[in-house]
Structure 1
């Protein structure tokens, strides 16, 4: 149990660090979000697949022998992971790593609304509370309580909400795949496929990038520490403590993103940000508690 908690916590912390590194690169090197997201996905996909092939080469290849799994994998790669990674990085570009990470945690509310729609039922009392908390938290983050003034840009808010929506798709789409093939194989291939598709759509080979040594280290940090290692540690933690507990501990991502943003980038974090932060993250604990009941 203790080992699983530590592994999951490290995964969440590394995700938060990844977002802050992304903010640093956007601020200091003016990187294109499509380019950075493509490099992140391609690099992490290659690393994760190398790990998969070392662990079980036959299983890593066998996924391509099942047509239904291939279709699901492609859908997950583009509609789930690519959308999730791109919207998150774009939210950081238009706001900051802390706000993007917090808004991404609207995803449990989107999943809950999807469940209500599929099951053709109205939300339960606790679910209604979560919807109100999520909207209140988003409103406070965006306006700091002043309806006449936006604290973040409209694009920052839009892509932050899209990050939450895409994170819910990322959670829902691969369930059957992960039941059959585990987590690393689908995510490794999805990273690679999503990176290739995004790179082609964005024509990344035409994008001019100027990086010095620190910039290169930053990009490698996002790929290796923030993505490949972050996912690997988190999924290993899930193996020990289960998905529900892991999702709660994974909420360290916005906490760590805020910490690194304030300490490293010297960004401000107000009381209103803290209130919005708490309101949105509280939905995770409320919905998870309901699951246990």
Structure 2
């Protein structure tokens, strides 16, 4: 029996929560991850071993990982920026990590205080140590369709950074429209260009919905062969470096769209919608998933 046609990487517990101003209780984070992993999602990003000074929301990642119920067949990757972060991740029993680069020099400087080249050099020992310990590595590339400081980004630069991450040992590259400015034609053109350097089977699409284009962009990427999609329950998330940028595309909306296209995800949409409503209430923010809100209203 073959698996789902599309693999969804749920990024809500990390990418979704990391910019929330009020600290989310550890209990809530653990419950969120456990509930999400019970819906059939194959990957639930569980946290980040980053400086608590810069990202205080992720300071309890080790505690979260110690308390979650790890389901067989579900991946729980964490973001790590450097060797110190990887050491902490290994101590927590992590088997998958992600590293974070940008396709924009200005964004790289503002976000991680170094150039793109310097960031990639920093990742070399991280990916090497990860592989030595049997830990899978994923690479994120941000600002692939636009930057709040530089404007439009050359797809060739995105392809260059993506290829370098693969050389360093990343098994999968997630292409992030961090500020949500992309449109379908530009998204498709980007995938075609990056696929000249990295096989499309190793690419994932990560879209924010600032201009309401995320689902349309994802459809365009599916036409180009993308089969891995990052999304966030209830549309949690944002970007502190991009004024007005909204959250990631909502997982509920993605699942509803994909299932309507005849593409299986293996995810229980009703259960997912209930989680979206619950976490939105728990952290006191509106539920950004249209499909989720509709299904919750229908359920009464």
Q: TM-score range by the shorter chain?
A: under 0.3
Structure number having the greater strand percentage = 2
| RCO higher in structure (CA 8 A, sep ≥6) | 1
Larger radius of gyration between Structure 1 and Structure 2: 1
TM-score, L = length of structure 2: 0.25
